[in-house]
């Protein structure tokens, strides 16, 4: 054993991310997070990684309140500004690439190379969505040629507070792939991190907190999905829910609860093999949490019909 | 027709301060609610879809005949032409003595005396255009002289034009003072103030002109001279009707409305009466408060009356050419 | 006081429409009785006259209709888009040709004025088919992928307030995209959908592409729950919409819902007052207020409230209530005794809660279902008449002091379908429109519809859009 090996490393206490702050669960509960069974190397399999906070229903409620508070400012920011903020996230993630590579390797049991590829793809996904913020309205909106003297414009708007049940397998790339499109368009998100792989999500919060993403725009909860997600699905001040990380039975239960205030629901992929997060993301996730507002206004004429000027 | 009192020159006491200065008048006129052209025209068009049948149609046709200012305003007008028009005004349909007389015959001042002679004792009023009709481009003294000449020739009613140039240049007080001067010159004659709405161009301007005219003492506000491309339309008349309705609500003073030019068919006239009915209401359904400035309209109304009476469609050979 | 200018009756002729004494279900291109032989009566709400006896679909009929639609789906979706489009163009043209007949029919069955069916419903129905006909061979350009595919069988349930127009909103985009449909019209207004079945026959539409199942809520529920339905589209109440959302949870069925509303019509002190009054009147009294996007809450700036209310009352005094077939009628009959009871109950609650009730002076006919135009003043956000959808000719008037207060009050509802804003100040229109949580914002106008313009709600007013390019999305994958 060398001199260096003798040093005991400093461990990180993982916390929730709510309203731009890093609280512990109000319940005081934590749960043990271990390395993926397939995690290789000397690190060992099933090794203890951390005690993650086990968020309660009240933590979920606080997260929704924080998200709601953030909606006005974030959706009211210019699309250009949101794009810059999202790009800043990519920059910060790039700077901490090594850290995430290690965390993803532990979480998903990937080799270092494969894990690095996941991190790179996640960074690139932020860049992809950073570029979309000021284009989605042009793609999803429309000037409508109505049969009358009216100006008529349809424009997309964020739906508000979106609960995101993050993918259970892909702890970083999957998470970024579902989170970035939600906030790119101006929504605020409450994320239920992958139950057994929450650490990359909790660490991502640190990047978000230092990337000019306003507090409350993204809130990250770790814990038991089946405990947290129903609270969010039933919450009357949540506008939409992304069920990607829910299994079929939970997804159905959540969709039923979501009907109480007619949340917009994005169902998990029908494909039992899950979603291929390396594929072209398209615009489906961007537009899933948009409302279309159509505004009419008379155009009229410059003067009374037929007048000289 | 019993003589009815004319409007006072200048605003009622409750609005006295709005004409105190050019600035005050401008602020007042520009403070009137705006007009959305699309909504206005849609409302006028919707009222145009009313279906007026049988008894309602008979009432409307007779009312329309009684509201006509039978008009000839041509350079080629002669005493003979005016006399024949007056004969028609007194007896619009010689085959049907139940046909009402028209309200007035409207001529240039130099033919007012002819009209007055031909209409004496009939109850049909003599209306004369004045104030350098139709352009209004003359010095105030000329306009006043024109007015006095018409009155001297026997005119019961004066149809004056406003100075559109001054109005469009924003010199509202000047326009107001001119109307007021004509109002005073007109004495007991009823004064119709023509805005030439087609030249004012916007409905907002038409609403402002309406209030300006009423403040200055108009007995009627009138759309147009009949001499420009766009004359009376349902929409611009609707603006005038809203104005007289609101003016009475604000001041208690009732002012009449006269669309003029371009109303040629009975169907059109009935649409205007629907506008009156559903905008200003019963109190304006009377030729003391609503007129049509028209000429060919009368024959179409007469043909429609004949159709209602006989059940057959009439033809132009069964009404008189004037 | 008698009016000087009383409009004589001007009834549209009933003879342009020939209503058969009975109608069947329309399944697989044929009219057929219900499997269990049940029937129900369709009544004219203005007179309580029975117009026809109609087969009542049950679960077995839903099975038959869905099976027919499934069989038709393969060949229909395989048709070149241009050919599908031509069927829709044919349908549009036949609707135009038969528009007077359909207008009279709709007026009889629904109770709404002929002026509206003639000038609004029917032109919009034909226009909707025209609009989507043109999309059928251009779907790859709609922004939903280069080669979008239809979903399959669409189960569609529509309400009674615009029977044929809601049918058009449902069927036109579904067919253009290559789906086949099973549509259930409302139990109080089944007739125009059955006439539409005849139009499909005239147009030569292949059997099974459109199936019409008149019936009640049980048939609608069976249709929504049917395992071979790929897509559910519903327009109706929020309560039923929620039931449907629960019913399809956990399935692969795609869902769009167009539900209730409690639209705010905001009038600022610089509004074009005369047009605003028209917009308020049209916003709540169009179709007897039985419109999901009705402007049922008037938010008027306190400084002009008296003036606007006075104008509004004067204007309401000119509304003509009565025989819906009379061309001069502005306000027709309420669609059903149930609806009338609901309106009556809520209006009474308004009074009981202390709002001041004013009713337009008009006489109600002695038979049929009628409710006089009514407005409540002194209403606050806490009153039921300000919160619940009345779906009748009842306007709740609230005041506000500042634009921010107006927006806060307008948005203070679980609904989010429509809103109006009246001001001559352009920047205020844009600022207010931007902050209103509603799918349709009418600025200096109200209740305008067009096939090219997407329509649909925020929040509990539903999701998905009907109309325009956006309307295709619900029927494509």
Query: Given pLDDT bands bounded at 50, 70 and 90, which one contains residue A306?
Result: low
| Of B103, B190, B117, B194, the residue nearest B153 (C-alpha) | B117
Report d(CA C405, CA C408) in Å as an integer: 5
Q: Is C473 a catalytic residue?
A: no
- Exposed e or buried b per residue across A77-106, where buried means at least 16 C-beta atoms within 10 angstroms of its C-beta: bebeebbbbbbbbbebbbebeebbbbbbbb
Best mutation target, C267, C274, C328, to test chain B (most B CBs within 10 A):
C274
The alpha carbon dihedral of C78, C81, C82, C85 has a sign of positive
Tally of residues, chain A: 309
Chain A, chain C: beta-carbon pairs less than 8 Å apart: 108
pLDDT at residue A273, as a whole number: 60
Question: Would residue A300 be called left, alpha or beta, if left means φ above 0 and alpha means ψ between -120 and 50 degrees?
Answer: left
pLDDT at residue A246, as a whole number: 97
Give me the DSSP letters along C245-292.
HHHHTTSS-EEEEE-----EEEE-TTS-HHHHHHHHHHHHHGGGG--T
A131 assigned to some structural domain: yes
pLDDT at residue A300, as a whole number: 79
Does the beta carbon of A237 lie under 8 angstroms from any beta carbon of chain C? no
Inter-chain touch A259–C433, beta carbons under 8 Å: no
In the beta sheet, which residues pair with residue A156?
A: A292
Does the beta carbon of B39 lie under 8 angstroms from any beta carbon of chain C? yes
- Cβ of A51: how many Cβ atoms within 10 Å? 14
| Of B191, B109, B101, B217, the residue nearest B154 (C-alpha) | B109
| Of C233, C229, C234, C236, the residue nearest C252 (C-alpha) | C229
Report d(CA A177, CA A242) in Å as an integer: 12
Report d(CA C379, CA C395) in Å as an integer: 10
Q: Which distant-in-sequence residues (6+ apart) come within 8 Å of C224 by Cβ? A: C155, C157, C232, C234, C244, C247, C248
The alpha carbon dihedral of C278, C279, C281, C285 has a sign of positive
pLDDT at residue A34, as a whole number: 95
Low-confidence ranges of chain C (pLDDT < 70): 1
Q: Is B222 a catalytic residue?
A: yes
A65 assigned to some structural domain: yes
Within the 119-178 window of chain A, which residues sit less than 8 Å (CB to CB) from chain C? 139-140, 142, 144-148, 150, 152, 154, 159
Inter-chain touch C445–B57, beta carbons under 8 Å: no
Decide which of 2.30.110.10, 2.40.50.100, 3.40.50.970, 3.40.605.10 is the CATH code for C14-259+459-475.
Answer: 3.40.605.10
CA A292 to chain centre: 21
Does the beta carbon of A269 lie under 8 angstroms from any beta carbon of chain C? no
Catalytic residue among C106, C187, C258, C473: C258
Helix or strand run (H / E) with residue B242? helix B234-251
Does the beta carbon of B17 lie under 8 angstroms from any beta carbon of chain A? no
Considering only CB atoms, which chain C residues are within 8 Å of B51?
Answer: 7, 10, 327-328
Report d(CA C248, CA C231) in Å as an integer: 10
pLDDT at residue A222, as a whole number: 98
Q: Which distant-in-sequence residues (6+ apart) come within 8 Å of A241 by Cβ? A: A162, A163, A164, A165, A232, A233, A254, A258, A263, A264, A265, A266
Within the 441-470 window of chain C, which residues sit less than 8 Å (CB to CB) from chain B? 444-445
Does the beta carbon of B242 lie under 8 angstroms from any beta carbon of chain C? yes
Does the beta carbon of B57 lie under 8 angstroms from any beta carbon of chain C? yes
Chain C: residue nearest B279 by CA? C315
Does the beta carbon of B31 lie under 8 angstroms from any beta carbon of chain C? no
Best mutation target, C7, C103, C324, to test chain B (most B CBs within 10 A):
C7
Does the beta carbon of B208 lie under 8 angstroms from any beta carbon of chain C? no
Inter-chain touch A309–B201, beta carbons under 8 Å: yes
| Of C344, C391, C130, C362, the residue nearest C239 (C-alpha) | C391
Fold designation for C264-443? Aldehyde Dehydrogenase; Chain A, domain 2 (3.40.309)
Inter-chain touch C443–A258, beta carbons under 8 Å: no
pLDDT at residue A1, as a whole number: 46
pLDDT at residue C452, as a whole number: 98
Considering only CB atoms, which chain B residues are within 8 Å of A298?
Answer: 36-39
Write out the residues of chain A at the interface with chain B, using a CB-CB cutoff of 8 A.
149-150, 298-309
pLDDT of A309 strictly over 50: no
Catalytic residue among C177, C200, C292, C293: C292
Considering only CB atoms, which chain C residues are within 8 Å of A262?
Answer: 238, 241-242, 245, 257, 259, 459-460, 462-463
The total domain count for chain A is 1
Helix, strand, coil shares of chain B, percent, nearest 5, are: 50, 10, 35
The alpha carbon dihedral of B226, B229, B234, B239 has a sign of negative
Q: Which distant-in-sequence residues (6+ apart) come within 8 Å of C69 by Cβ? A: C153, C154, C180, C181, C182, C208, C209, C211
Considering only CB atoms, which chain A residues are within 8 Å of B229?
Answer: 306-308
Beta pairing, strands C254-258 & C462-463: antiparallel
Tally of residues, chain C: 477
Report d(CA A106, CA A200) in Å as an integer: 10
Inter-chain touch A301–B37, beta carbons under 8 Å: yes
Inter-chain touch A308–B37, beta carbons under 8 Å: no
The parent domain of residue B129 ranges over: 13-309
The parent domain of residue A294 ranges over: 13-298
Best mutation target, A266, A294, A299, A300, to test chain C (most C CBs within 10 A):
A294
Does the beta carbon of B287 lie under 8 angstroms from any beta carbon of chain C? no
B3 assigned to some structural domain: no
Nearest CB partner across the interface for A308, out of B37, B38, B199: B199
Q: Which distant-in-sequence residues (6+ apart) come within 8 Å of A231 by Cβ? A: A57, A60, A61
pLDDT at residue A308, as a whole number: 46
Inter-chain touch B37–A304, beta carbons under 8 Å: yes
First to last CA, chain C: 63
Locate C71 and state its tokens: 């069989």
Low-confidence ranges of chain B (pLDDT < 70): 1-3
Catalytic residue among B159, B163, B204, B219: B159
Does the beta carbon of B219 lie under 8 angstroms from any beta carbon of chain A? no
- Cβ of C126: how many Cβ atoms within 10 Å? 23
- Cβ of C355: how many Cβ atoms within 10 Å? 23
pLDDT of A210 strictly over 50: yes
B318 assigned to some structural domain: no
CATH number at residue B119: 3.20.20.70
A35 assigned to some structural domain: yes
A122 assigned to some structural domain: yes
Q: Cα angle at C452 between C446 and C456, to 5 degrees?
A: 60
**Whether the Cβ atoms of residue B176 and residue B25 lie closer than 8 Å to each other:** yes
The percent of residues above 90 in pLDDT, for chain A, comes to 89
A41 assigned to some structural domain: yes
Domain segments of chain C as ranges:
14-259+459-475, 264-443
A190 assigned to some structural domain: yes
Residue A51, CA distances (Å) to A32, A188, A199 in order: 5, 27, 10
HEC assignment per residue over C340-402:
HHHHHHHHHHHHHCCCEEEECCCCCCCCCCCCCCEEEECCCCCCHHHHCCCCCCEEEEEEECC
C155-211 pLDDT, tens digit per residue, is 999 999 999 999 999 999 999 999 999 999 999 999 999 999 999 999 999 999 999
């Amino acid at each position: 054993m060398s001199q260096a090996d003798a040093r005991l490393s400093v461990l990180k206490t993982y916390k929730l991310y709510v309203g731009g702050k890093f609280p512990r669960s109000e319940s005081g509960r934590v749960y043990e997070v271990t390395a993926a069974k397939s995690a290789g190397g000397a690190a060992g399999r099933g090794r203890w990684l951390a005690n993650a906070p086990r968020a309660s229903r009240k933590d979920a409620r606080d997260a929704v309140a924080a998200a709601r508070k953030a909606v006005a400012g974030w959706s009211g920011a210019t699309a250009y500004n949101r794009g810059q903020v999202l790009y800043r996230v990519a920059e910060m993630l790039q700077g901490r690439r090594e850290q995430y590579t290690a965390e993803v390797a532990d979480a998903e049991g990937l080799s270092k190379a494969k894990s690095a590829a996941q991190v790179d793809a996640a960074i690139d996904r932020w860049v992809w969505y950073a570029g979309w913020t000021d284009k989605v309205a042009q793609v999803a909106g429309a000037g409508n040629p109505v049969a009358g003297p009216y100006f008529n414009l349809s424009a997309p708007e964020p739906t508000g507070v979106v609960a995101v049940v993050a993918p259970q397998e892909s702890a970083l790339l999957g998470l970024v792939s579902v989170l970035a499109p939600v906030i790119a368009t101006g929504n605020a998100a409450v994320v239920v991190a992958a139950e057994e792989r929450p650490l990359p999500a909790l660490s991502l919060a640190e990047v978000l907190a230092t990337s000019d993403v306003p507090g409350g725009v993204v809130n990250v909860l770790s814990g038991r999905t089946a405990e947290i997600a129903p609270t969010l699905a039933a919450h009357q001040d949540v506008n939409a829910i992304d069920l990607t990380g829910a299994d079929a039975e939970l997804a159905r239960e959540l969709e039923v609860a979501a009907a109480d205030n007619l949340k917009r629901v994005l169902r998990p992929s029908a494909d039992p093999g899950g979603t291929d997060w390396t594929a072209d993301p398209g615009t489906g996730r961007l537009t899933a949490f948009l409302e279309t507002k159509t505004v009419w206004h008379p155009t009229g004429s410059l003067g009374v019909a037929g007048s000289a000027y | 027709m019993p003589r009815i009192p004319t409007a006072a020159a200048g605003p009622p006491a409750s609005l006295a301060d709005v004409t105190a200065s050019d600035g005050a008048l401008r602020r007042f006129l520009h403070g009137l609610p705006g007009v959305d052209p699309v909504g206005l025209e849609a409302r006028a068009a919707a009222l145009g879809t009313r279906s007026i049948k049988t008894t309602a149609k008979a009432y409307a046709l007779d009312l329309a005949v009684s509201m006509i200012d039978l008009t000839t305003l041509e350079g080629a007008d002669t005493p003979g032409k005016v006399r024949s028009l007056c004969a028609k005004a007194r007896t619009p349909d010689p085959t049907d003595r139940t046909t009402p007389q028209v309200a007035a015959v409207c001529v240039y001042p130099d033919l007012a005396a002819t009209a007055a002679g031909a209409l004496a004792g009939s109850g049909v009023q003599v209306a004369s255009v004045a104030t350098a009709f139709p352009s209004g481009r003359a010095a105030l003294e000329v306009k006043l002289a024109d007015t006095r000449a018409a009155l001297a020739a026997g005119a019961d009613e004066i149809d004056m034009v406003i100075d559109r140039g001054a109005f469009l240049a924003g010199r509202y007080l000047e326009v107001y003072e001119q109307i007021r001067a004509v109002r005073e010159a007109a004495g007991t004659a009823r004064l119709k103030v023509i805005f030439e709405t087609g030249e004012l161009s916007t409905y907002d301007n038409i609403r402002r002109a309406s209030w300006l005219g009423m403040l200055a003492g108009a007995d009627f506000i009138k759309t147009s001279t009949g001499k420009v491309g766009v004359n009376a339309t349902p929409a611009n008349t609707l603006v005038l009707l809203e104005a007289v309705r609101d003016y009475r609500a604000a001041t208690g003073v009732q002012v009449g409305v006269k669309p003029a030019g371009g109303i040629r068919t009975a169907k059109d006239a009935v649409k205007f009466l629907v506008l009156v009915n559903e905008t200003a209401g019963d109190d304006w359904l009377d030729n003391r408060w609503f007129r049509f400035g028209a000429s060919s309209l009368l024959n179409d109304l007469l043909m429609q009356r004949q159709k209602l009476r006989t059940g057959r469609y009439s033809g132009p050979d069964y009404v008189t050419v004037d | 006081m008698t009016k000087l200018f009383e409009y004589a009756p001007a009834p549209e002729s009933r003879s342009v429409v020939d209503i058969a004494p009975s109608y069947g279900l329309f399944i697989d291109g044929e009219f057929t009785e219900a499997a269990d032989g049940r029937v129900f009566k369709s009544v004219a709400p203005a007179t309580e006259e029975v117009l026809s006896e109609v087969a009542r679909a049950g679960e077995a009929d839903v099975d038959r209709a869905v099976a027919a639609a499934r069989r038709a789906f393969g060949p229909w979706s395989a048709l070149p888009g241009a050919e599908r489009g031509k069927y829709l163009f044919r349908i549009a043209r036949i609707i135009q040709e038969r528009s007077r007949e359909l207008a009279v029919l709709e007026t009889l069955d629904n109770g709404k004025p002929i002026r509206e069916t003639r000038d609004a419903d029917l032109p919009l129905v034909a226009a909707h088919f025209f609009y989507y006909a043109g999309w059928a061979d251009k779907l790859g350009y709609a922004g939903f992928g280069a080669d979008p595919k239809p979903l399959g069988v669409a189960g569609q349930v529509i309400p009674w307030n615009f029977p044929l127009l809601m049918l058009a909103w449902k069927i036109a985009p579904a067919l253009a995209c290559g789906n086949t449909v099973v549509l259930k019209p409302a139990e109080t207004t089944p007739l125009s959908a059955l006439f539409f079945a005849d139009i499909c026959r005239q147009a030569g539409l292949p059997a099974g592409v459109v199936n019409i199942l008149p019936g009640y809520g049980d048939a609608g529920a069976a249709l929504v729950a049917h395992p071979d339905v790929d897509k559910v589209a519903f327009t109706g109440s929020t309560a039923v919409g929620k039931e449907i959302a629960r019913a399809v949870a956990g399935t692969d069925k795609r869902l769009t819902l167009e539900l209730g509303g409690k639209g705010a019509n905001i009038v600022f002190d610089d509004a074009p007052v005369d047009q605003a009054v028209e917009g308020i009147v049209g916003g709540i009294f169009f179709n007897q207020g039985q419109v999901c996007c009705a402007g049922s809450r008037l938010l008027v700036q306190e400084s002009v409230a008296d003036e606007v209310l006075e104008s509004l009352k004067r204007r309401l005094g000119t509304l003509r209530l009565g025989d819906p077939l009379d061309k001069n009628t502005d306000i027709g009959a309420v669609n059903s005794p149930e609806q009338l009871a609901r309106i009556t109950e809520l209006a009474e609650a308004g009074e009981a809660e202390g709002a001041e009730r004013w009713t337009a002076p008009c006489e109600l006919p002695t038979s049929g279902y009628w409710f006089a135009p009514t407005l409540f003043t002194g209403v606050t956000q806490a009153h039921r008449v300000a919160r619940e959808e009345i779906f009748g000719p009842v306007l709740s008037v609230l005041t506000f002091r500042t634009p921010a207060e107006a927006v806060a009050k307008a948005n203070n509802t679980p609904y989010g379908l429509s809103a109006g804003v009246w001001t001559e100040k352009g920047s205020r229109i844009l600022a207010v429109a931007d902050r209103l949580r509603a799918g349709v914002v009418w600025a200096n106008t109200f209740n305008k519809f067009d096939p090219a313009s997407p329509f649909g709600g925020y929040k509990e007013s539903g999701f998905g859009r009907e109309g325009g390019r956006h309307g295709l999305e619900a029927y494509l994958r």
